[in-house]
Amino acid sequence: MRPLSRAVRPGLGRRGAAPGGTITRAIPLGATCYIELLECYDSALPYGQAVREALAGNRPLLGLAIEVDDIDALARRVGVPATEGTVELEDGTVGRWAAVGAGDELPFFIRYARSHRQRVEANRERVAAAGHDIEPTGIAWVELGGDEQSLREWVGAVDLDLRFVGGEPGIRRFAIATKGGAIVFEP
């Protein structure tokens, strides 16, 4: 496995290797939110290949994960089976999760093996350790393209400001809430 780009400040976020060919780095944005950066370390493996293909096709790699309490109930509601995954972290521990997704255009759902309380405590520590120039407090809003009714049915009730703009499916823009105001990102 090769190191991540030096463009990411050392110590900023947890780094891990997924068995599917990617390295991830989670940049904490608050007690329950983070941005995950991806790097391909083996394009012959499934996730690595998907990342390389997206980049080669000049497609933005933006996705929205929504944490749920009961991944099995969610899978039944949307009619898509949950898949399990792991990531090997720098300290040698293995993070486990289960996810439900249906393509790149839709948000996906995730349930971590660690309890929500444990994750909140760990994320608060990571935010403090990250040394952000302007302290983030979470995701302010996400702007989604696609059919609003279908997206609302898929996502269900969530505590997140989702803004629907129609057009091609996918994330159009999002804003990170900070103590200094929102920072808007556009692909």
pLDDT in tens, 76-95: 999 999 999 988 888 888 98
What per-residue confidence (pLDDT) applies to 2?
Answer: 32
Domain ranges for the chain, please list them. 14-131
pLDDT at 4: 32
101-135 burial, b for 16+ CB within 10 Å, e for fewer?
Answer: beebebbbbbbeeeeeeebeeebeebbeebebeee
Mean pLDDT of the 43-69 span: 87
pLDDT at 131: 78
Residue 6 has pLDDT above 90, yes or no: no
Q: pTM, whole model, 2 decimals?
A: 0.81
pLDDT at 57: 87
Q: How far is CA 17 from CA 1, 20, 37, 142, 175, in A?
A: 8, 8, 12, 27, 27
- Answer whether 25's CB lies under 8 Å from 14's CB: yes
Per residue in 10-54, pLDDT tens? 445 668 888 888 888 888 888 888 888 888 889 899 888 988 888
Q: What is the mean pLDDT of the chain?
A: 85
- Position 12 scores a pLDDT of 54
CA angle 133, 135, 136 (to 5 degrees): 125
Residue 38 confidence (pLDDT) = 84
3-7, 137-141, 155-159, range with the lowest pLDDT: 3-7
Q: Return the pLDDT at 179.
A: 87
- What local confidence, expressed as pLDDT, does residue 29 receive? 85
CA–CA separation, 171 and 187 (whole Å): 9
| Three-class DSSP category at 87 | strand
Average pLDDT over residues 60-64: 82
The beta strand positions in the chain, using DSSP E, are 14-18, 22-28, 34-40, 65-67, 83-89, 94-100, 108-112, 136-145, 162-164, 170-178, 183-185
Instruction: Tell me what pLDDT residue 39 has.
Output: 85
- Say what the pLDDT of residue 154 is: 93
Cβ atoms 66, 158 nearer than 8 A: yes
